[in-house]
Amino acid sequence: MGKLTSPSTIKYIMAKYDFKFSKGLGQNFLINDMVVSDIVEGAEINENDCILEIGPGIGVMTYEMASRADKVTAIEIDNYLLPVLDETLADFDNITIVNNDVLKVDLRKLIDEHFSGKPPKVVANLPYYITTPIVMKLLEDELPISDIVVMVQKEVADRMMAKPRTKAYGALSVAVQYYSEPEIVTVVPPSSFMPQPKVASSVIRLKVRPSDLELLDKKTFFNTIKDAFSKRRKTLLNALSSGIMKVSKDDLKIAFEKSGVDGGRRGETLTIDEFALLANTIVEVTK
């Protein structure tokens, strides 16, 4: 079999295994060696590393990572790819394929069982239809993960990186920046994939670290953010008083007063620190 990034190899595999790309499963396979190296190098993989991959496809990244890492576990939903992976990754004895839906797997248990508790790096070219739920599952559950290096739509990576007072700044920016330090590794054009997606992609690295923000109640913090951004055009006072948090306007007015955050501002102008301050004050006022 030829190089896994070669379109002729992919066509050969498709014919041999009667495999068809599933648009619904976000199957856009990498056909650019340079991008595969950028991702693997962006993750700084060494021989002691444990890697968790999501969506190995035909194993193009899995192959490179297994050559460098101690162990790779890859979660793939598509049964039709299992015999393909058996062949493409036959040279390795440090790869385990888990045939499951990443959103349904108990990742904490999987990490414990596969890596004996050693925090893995998550490295993946993510299926785009569920990028945000996957990243949020990895971050929100506070799993033992040391690093996340993933390919996502460029527009989603830009939202993860966005700062206040920009159009891209939203609940995803705050959540990602609360749990990690994001940095763009590289931007990837549609021509690096087969079939080609409609939009550009970015490889983004999220260095997971404990936040230095002190939150009295994490749920109130995230609900405040959700409410503030679900009605972006409203003032904070109006957005929060009609949101999921169910805090009365009177209590909110007191919280704005006490925290010094102006309720007439829009959510998109608040820094993460200001969201934390406001949420902590809401907790104090409503207890």
Nearest approach in angstroms of CB 123 to ligand SAM is 9
Confirm if 193 and 31 have CB atoms less than 8 A apart: yes
Nearest distance from C-beta of residue 29 to ligand SAM, angstroms = 4
Q: 3-state SS string over 131-183?
A: HHHHHHHHHHCCCCCCEEEEEEEHHHHHHHHCCCCCCCCCHHHHHHHHHEEEE
Shortest-Cβ-distance residue relative to ligand SAM: 55
CB of residue 129 to ligand SAM, shortest distance in Å: 7
Closest to ligand SAM by CB, 36 vs 282, is 36
State in angstroms the smallest separation of the CB of 91 from ligand SAM: 18
55 vs 263, which CB is nearer to ligand SAM? 55
Q: Which is nearer to ligand SAM, 171 or 188 (CB)?
A: 188
Instruction: Kindly state the smallest distance separating residue 30's Cβ from ligand SAM, in Å.
Output: 4
Q: Which two tokens stand for residue 26?
A: 């976000």
**CB nearer to ligand SAM: pick between 84 and 285:** 84
- Give the nearer residue to ligand SAM in terms of CB position, either 7 or 264: 7
Looking at beta carbons only, is 26 or 164 nearer to ligand SAM? 26
| Rounded alpha-carbon distances, angstroms, from residue 122 to 108, 139, 255 | 13, 11, 39
CB of 2 to ligand SAM, least distance (A): 15
Residues that bind ligand SAM (CB under 6 A): 25-30, 54-57, 60-61, 75-78, 101-103, 125, 127, 130
